């Protein structure tokens, strides 16, 4: 996401706070990060991480991410949506997931992801940047979501990931699509968990 110091960032699904505190460090603890989660007890984990790292710019907020626009419409310079997902990218570490997930759950999650994105977009200033990410490998939750969002929201454009991720990733299989604004990591190709990252820029409508 590469947020600038002094900016306003919304982390739509923040708990337990590892990514939130990393954003604060990138911002040199200057600016404001609104850290949202729908579960109050998970926000306690965000507060613990803040205290441990001495970070003061994070505001934990109990809020359903599908209703972000009701509180923060047009305010954010940057938004992170690390969305609730099926988690199928971590099967190597959590093989029991395969017995718990059903096809209909994938589509329910896709609908939730689209609702969160639709609300988040309304919070983003023109020129602002947003990252949508998951820890899954399903097309429905990844490229399917971004294609549908781009269809619904003409003011949103994919923004190149080149320069946002470590330079040595460009030599890995499939990383050439970073220039298109998204990338899918696969366990059998990259030796990592399976996860998806996409970056958007909001243009003047």
At which residue do the structure tokens 């990138």 appear?
26
Instruction: Please name every residue paired with 35 in a beta bridge, in sequence order, or none if there are none.
Output: 11, 60
Coil/strand/helix, residue 183: strand
Of 108, 107, 199, 116, which is closest to residue 160 (Cα–Cα)? 199
Q: Give the separation between CA 24 and CA 28, rounded to whole angstroms.
A: 6
Candidate list 13, 36, 85, 135, residue with the active-site label: 135
First to last CA, the chain: 22
Of 80, 158, 75, 82, which is closest to residue 123 (Cα–Cα)? 75
Residue 135 bears catalytic tag: yes
Coil/strand/helix, residue 199: strand
CB 21 within 8 A of CB 51: no
Those residues whose C-beta lies under 8 Å from the C-beta of residue 85, and which sit 6 or more positions away, are: 109, 113, 134, 135, 136, 141
Catalytic residues, by residue number, are 135
């Amino acid at each position: 996401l590469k947020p600038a110091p002094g900016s306003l960032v919304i982390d739509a699904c923040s708990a337990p706070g590892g990514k939130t505190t990393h954003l604060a460090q990138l911002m040199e603890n200057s600016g404001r990060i609104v850290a949202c989660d729908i579960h109050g007890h998970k926000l306690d984990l965000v507060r613990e991480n803040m205290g441990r790292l001495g970070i003061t710019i994070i505001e934990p907020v109990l809020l359903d991410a599908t209703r972000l626009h009701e509180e923060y419409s047009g305010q954010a310079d940057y938004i992170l949506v690390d969305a609730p997902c099926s988690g199928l990218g971590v099967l190597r570490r959590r093989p029991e997931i395969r017995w718990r997930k059903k096809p209909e759950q994938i589509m329910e999650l896709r609908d939730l992801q689209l609702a969160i994105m639709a609300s988040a977009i309304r919070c983003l200033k023109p020129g602002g940047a947003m990252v949508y990410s998951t820890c899954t490998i399903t097309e429905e939750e990844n490229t399917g979501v971004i294609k549908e969002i781009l269809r619904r929201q003409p003011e949103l454009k994919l923004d190149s990931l080149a320069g946002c991720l470590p330079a040595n990733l460009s030599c890995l299989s499939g990383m050439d699509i970073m220039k298109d604004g998204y990338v899918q990591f696969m366990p059998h190709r990259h030796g990592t968990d399976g996860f998806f990252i996409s970056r958007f820029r909001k243009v003047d409508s």
